[in-house]
C-alpha cells in the first residue's frame, strides 16, 4: 500500500490518495498510471493528473454524451476525439439509431491499459459500430467535411497532448466537419478554477457557432469537484429542448436525468453563457 501525493498541474492543488500502483507506462505521448484505491476504486492518471475513477466516472461520461444525444433529433454518425478510456463510447452506444462512432485517440497505450484495467468503462470499444483511429485529433479533423452529426471532444487538460484541442483554429475545422444542425461538445475545464480560459474559449467559439452554452457536471475527484463542457451548434439554440428518445429504456444511468440536463446549464455570475 502506498500514498500517492497527486499534484494537479493545472491548478497546483494536491489530492492525497491511498492506494496501490497497479501499472505505470511511459508511452510515446504521456505518463500513464493506474492505481487501485481504497475509496474510489481503480483510478487513471495521465501526466500526473487524475482522468477518472470508478467511483465517479459516470458523472462525467454520461453528461458529455447524453446532453448532445438527447438534444439532437436523429444523430447517425458521431465522432469522439480523445476518450481512449471508452466511457463516452459506452454511453453513445445506448442510442440504437447511431450507426457509426469514430474514436480518434492519439495514444494507443491509453486504450490498451483501459481495456485491461477498466473493462466496465471500455466495454464498447470492440463494438462493430466503433472504428478506432490512433491519430492526432487536430490533424484528423482537417480532412473531414460535413460528415458528423455530433462531435465530442473528450480531451485531457490544455497542456501536453491536449493543448491543440483548445485552440481557435481547431474549432474552425470542427465547424466544417459537422453536418447542418450538428453539435460539438468540448471538455472545457472548471468554472471555478478556469473562468478566464472558459470565457476566452466562449468568445472564439462564438465566431463559428450561433449557439455556445457552458454546462457542468459534479465529479468529486476532480479539482473543485466540477468539470464543464461547451455546447456548440448552429441548429440547436436551446439545448434544454430534449428530444423524445425512449430515455426510460436506458438502464444503469447513475447521474444523468432530464432535470440534471436542464439545470446543468445554470451557471454562476461571471461565466459566459
Catalytic positions, please?
A: 154
Sequence-distant (≥ 6) Cβ neighbours of residue 97 within 8 angstroms? 74, 75, 76
Q: Where are the alpha helices (DSSP H) in the chain?
A: 57-71, 87-92, 108-117, 137-140, 168-177, 195-205, 258-263
- Strand-pairing partners, residue 82, are 154
249: which 3 cell numbers? 429504456
47: left (phi over 0), alpha (psi -120 to 50) or beta: left
Q: Which of 6, 32, 38 is nearest to 113 (CA)?
A: 32
* CB 103 within 8 Å of CB 89: yes
b (16+ CB within 10 A) / e for 81-101: bbbbbbbbbbbbbbbeebebb
Amino acid at each position: 500500500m502506498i500514498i500517492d501525493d497527486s499534484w494537479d498541474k493545472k491548478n497546483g492543488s494536491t489530492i492525497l490518495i491511498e492506494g496501490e500502483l497497479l501499472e505505470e507506462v511511459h508511452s510515446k505521448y504521456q505518463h500513464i498510471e493506474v492505481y487501485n484505491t481504497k475509496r474510489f476504486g481503480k483510478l487513471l492518471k495521465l501526466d500526473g493528473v487524475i482522468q477518472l475513477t470508478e467511483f465517479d466516472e459516470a458523472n462525467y461520461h454520461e453528461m458529455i454524451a447524453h446532453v448532445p444525444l438527447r438534444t439532437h433529433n436523429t444523430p447517425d454518425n458521431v465522432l469522439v476525439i480523445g476518450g481512449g478510456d471508452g466511457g463516452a463510447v459506452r454511453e453513445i452506444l445506448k442510442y440504437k439509431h447511431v450507426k457509426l462512432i469514430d474514436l480518434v485517440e492519439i495514444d494507443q497505450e491509453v486504450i490498451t491499459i483501459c481495456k485491461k484495467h477498466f473493462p466496465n468503462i471500455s466495454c464498447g470499444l470492440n463494438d462493430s459500430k466503433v472504428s478506432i483511429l490512433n491519430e492526432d485529433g487536430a490533424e484528423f479533423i482537417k480532412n473531414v467535411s460535413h460528415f458528423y452529426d455530433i462531435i465530442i471532444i473528450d480531451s485531457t487538460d490544455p497542456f501536453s497532448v491536449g493543448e491543440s484541442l483548445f485552440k481557435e483554429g481547431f474549432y474552425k475545422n470542427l465547424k466544417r466537419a459537422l453536418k447542418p444542425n450538428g453539435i460539438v461538445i468540448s471538455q472545457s475545464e472548471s468554472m471555478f478554477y478556469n473562468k478566464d480560459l472558459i470565457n476566452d474559449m466562449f468568445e472564439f467559439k462564438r465566431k463559428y457557432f450561433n449557439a455556445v452554452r457552458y454546462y457542468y457536471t459534479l465529479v468529486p475527484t476532480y479539482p473543485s469537484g466540477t468539470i464543464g463542457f461547451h455546447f456548440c451548434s448552429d441548429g440547436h439554440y436551446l439545448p434544454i429542448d430534449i428530444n423524445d428518445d425512449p430515455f426510460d429504456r436506458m438502464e444503469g444511468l447513475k447521474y444523468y436525468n432530464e432535470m440534471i440536463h436542464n439545470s446543468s446549464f445554470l451557471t454562476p455570475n461571471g461565466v459566459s453563457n
